[in-house]
Each structure stands twice: as C-alpha cells, then as structure tokens.
Amino acid sequence: MESSRRGIVYWLLGGGLIGSLASFLYPVLRYIRPPEVAQAAVSEAEVGAVNQFPVNSGKVVRFGSKPVLLIRLASDDWRAFSATCTHLACIVQYQPERQRIWCACHNGVYDLNGRVISGPPPRPLEPFDVHLRDGEVIVSKRA
Ligand code: FES
C-alpha cells in the first residue's frame, strides 16, 4: 500500500516536471525556429493618392511586407526603390535638401537612381516602377 502511494506521488511529480520543462522549452524553440509565414507574392501595390506626396518629398510605403521608398521629384517625376539598405538592412530615407537617399546607420548615400555614392553599401537599391492610375500612385515590381 505504501509503495503504491509513493508510486503515485513519483508519477505526479514526474508529470509536473515534464510539463514544466515542456512549457519552458516550447516557447524557446518557437523563438529560435519560428513557423514559416506564407506570403502572397505582391507585384503591384496602391500606395496612396497623388496629392499625399508633395513635390521633392519621399515617403516609405508598404509593398507587401517590404518597405519601399517612394520619391516625388517633380509633378511627373517619381522614383521608387527598396527602402532596405544593401549594407546591413537599415531603412533609408530621402533627403530633400540634398536630393539624395541616405542611410543613417552608417552614413551610406545613394543617388536618385539608387546607385551608391559613398559609404559602406555594397550594391545599389532595387528599383521599382511607379505609375499613376485614377489619381492613385501605383508601385510595381520592375520586369
Ligand atoms: S546599414 Fe545602411 S549604411 Fe550601413
């Protein structure tokens, strides 16, 4: 009788210990290896009304899950590039006073064609196409 009670206590303690370990390890493992997130391939995105973008301004907009830097240089001169710096993936920004694209992380500088002017970025920014349709700005992948 005594040994069966002891067996039940050991069984409960062991189950509790296994449960505690599992509840600790599961979130750690999910953090280390997150589940795959299915992402729909985006080839075009409507990013806002034309009048939301003043001349000589730049704004980071969403292209699916990616940030894109949309620049309006003149009323009919639009540029768009991946906003992810090719050095260490910081988000770049448009500097209207210098008319250039700048990465604040390590002072990387790109021209308005996305080419590297100075700093550590190893490659140019990926360009995107910009179209206007019914007063809306459309950014699309370059073919
Ligand atoms: S991350 Fe942009 S220059 Fe380093």
Cβ–ligand 1 contact at 121 (below 6 Å): yes
Is residue 10 classed exposed, middle or buried when 0-12, 13-18 and 19+ CB atoms within 10 A define those classes? exposed
Query: Residue 38: its pLDDT value, please?
Result: 60
Strand-by-strand arrangement of the 108-110 sheet = 93-95, 100-103, 108-110, 116-118
Whether 64 and 42 have beta carbons less than 8 Å apart is answered as yes
Which of 81, 85, 109, 125 is the pocket-test mutation for ligand 1 (most atoms within 8 Å of CB)? 85
Query: Residue 15: its pLDDT value, please?
Result: 75
Measured in Å, residue 13 CA sits from the centre of ligand 1 at: 53
For residues 16 and 76, state if they share a domain: no
Query: Residue 39: its pLDDT value, please?
Result: 60
For residues 129 and 86, state if they share a domain: yes
Structural domain range at position 109: 44-141
Write down the pTM of the prediction.
Answer: 0.75
Q: Residue 10: in which H helix or E strand, if any?
A: helix 2-32
Block mean pLDDT (10 aa), the chain, length 143: 75 78 78 70 94 97 96 97 98 98 98 98 98 97 89
Contacts of 1 (CB under 8 A, 6+ apart): none
> Domain with 87 in it: what CATH number?
2.102.10.10
For residues 80 and 133, state if they share a domain: yes
Which of 88, 93, 100 is the pocket-test mutation for ligand 1 (most atoms within 8 Å of CB)? 88
Total number of domains in the chain? 2
For residues 17 and 86, state if they share a domain: no
